[in-house]
Amino acid sequence: EAEVAQSPRYKITEKSQAVAFWCDPISGHATLYWYRQILGQGPELLVQFQDESVVDDSQLPKDRFSAERLKGVDSTLKIQPAELGDSAMYLCASTPEGGDTGELFFGEGSRLTVL
Amino acid sequence: GDSVTQMEGPVTLSEEAFLTINCTYTATGYPSLFWYVQYPGEGLQLLLKATKADDKGSNKGFEATYRKETTSFHLEKGSVQVSDSAVYFCAADGFQKLVFGTGTRLLVSP
Q: Give A10-40 as a 3 state SS string.
A: EEEECCCCCEEEEEECCCCCCEEEEEEECCC
Q: What is the pLDDT of residue A97?
A: 79
Rounded-to-integer distance, Cα B81 and Cα A51, Å:
41
Among B92, B87, B90, smallest CA distance to B104 is for: B87
Burial A52-62 (b: 16+ CB within 10 A, else e): eeeebbeebee
pLDDT band at A12 (very low <50, low <70, confident <90, very high): very high
d(CA A115, CA B80): 39
- How far apart (Å, rounded) are the C-alpha atoms in residues A7 and B4? 30
A91 touches chain B (CB under 8 A): yes
Query: What is the share, in percent, of chain A residues with pLDDT greater than 90?
Result: 85
Tally A–B CB contacts below 8 A. 52
| Nearest residue of chain B to residue A105 (CA atoms) | B45
Q: What is the mean pLDDT of residues A3-10?
A: 96
| Closest-CA residue of chain A to B31 | A102
What's the average model confidence in pLDDT over A64-70?
A: 95
* Set of chain A residues whose Cβ sits within 8 Å of the Cβ of B44: 43, 91, 93, 104, 106
pLDDT at A1: 67
**pLDDT tens digit sequence for B88-104:** 999 998 776 889 999 99
Confidence of residue B58 (pLDDT cuts 50, 70, 90): very high
Contact A43 B41 (CB under 8 A): no
pLDDT (tens digit per residue) in A23-51: 999 999 999 999 999 988 899 999 999 99
Report chain B's mean pLDDT, rounded to a whole number: 94
Mean of the pLDDT values across residues A75-91? 97
pLDDT (0 to 100) of residue B30: 85
Cβ-nearest to B102 among A40, A100, A107:
A40
| pLDDT at A56 exceeding the cut of 80 | yes
Residue B8: pLDDT band (50, 70, 90) is: confident
